Amino acid sequence: MHGNRVAREAGASVVRREPPARTLYYQYVAGWRGPDGAAPDAAEFSLRGDELAYAFPCDAGLTCVAVSATQSEFPALRAAPCHELMRRLHAHPQFAGRVARSKPVGRTAGGPPEASWVRETHGAGWALLGDAALHQDPWTGRGMDMASVHATFLAEAIVDWLSERATEDEALGRYRQLRDDHALGPFEETVTFARDLSRLGTEGAPRWGSAVCPLSTKRMARASCTKGTRTVSHRAARGVLRGAVHPSPRWW
């Protein structure tokens, strides 16, 4: 959904660009269990240095396990995706035993480090949405949620314009303002901490769960996060997860 062709043909300007920082690889597995041995009902995260591991319960009894690593690790992950992903997950103490007992389903997938950018949202006769308008490193998992929210902003702007409650410029100008108000703060967090995830949990870092867990607050109350060998409850993060998206095998 990068929409680069539309952006190029429309001449959409890039108002901010940040260099690539990280790579992310993932795999669906069957038989994953939660920390208590029961079927998983919430997401988990494990921070090991500058590497973040994830486990997201999905549809059909599957769990998506993933690792966000620095861009320097991309050649190794590209050369042997499944082996390297599983090796890295095994290095996270809280995940290791459960990774060994789970069964991969389908292929390991991922991609190279990509730049993050913010583009102008609109011009005469066109508007950009999703990654075409704002693309950020996927370590926070914010992209789909933002695209869905921004789609409502744009739809409302188009309705206002077509119903003559606003001119095209006024309606799309409001869309841009809503997009910026909603997204630029989280974008700044994402690109800043992408350079070194080991800073997560320090003063000024996003709270655990506020950035990376696409689960409802009720489910999140039962989630746990591991930092090294320390388990951190997500109960304190319940208030910052409104409007999140539940992952499925089509989520990535």
CA-CA distance, 62 to 198, in Å (whole number)?
A: 29
CATH topology of domain 22-112+209-252: D-Amino Acid Oxidase; Chain A, domain 2 (3.30.9)
pLDDT of residue 121: 96
Residue 108: is its pLDDT beyond 80? yes
**pLDDT for 166 beyond 80:** yes
pLDDT at position 5, please?
83
pLDDT at residue number 1: 42
DSSP state at residue 2: -
In this predicted structure, the answer to whether residue 221 has a pLDDT above a threshold of 80 is no
Assign a CATH topology to domain 4-19+115-194.
FAD/NAD(P)-binding domain (3.50.50)
Give span(s): CATH 3.50.50.60, the chain: 4-19+115-194
Please say whether the beta carbons of 176 and 121 come within 8 A.
Answer: yes
| pLDDT class of 207 with cuts at 50, 70, 90 | low
Where does the pLDDT of residue 206 fall: very low under 50, low under 70, confident under 90, or very high at 90 and above? low
**Per-residue pLDDT averaged across 177-197, rounded?**
97
Of 110, 73, 78, nearest to 91 (Cα)? Answer: 73
Q: What percent of the chain has pLDDT over 90?
A: 74
Which residues belong to CATH 3.30.9 in the chain?
Answer: 22-112+209-252
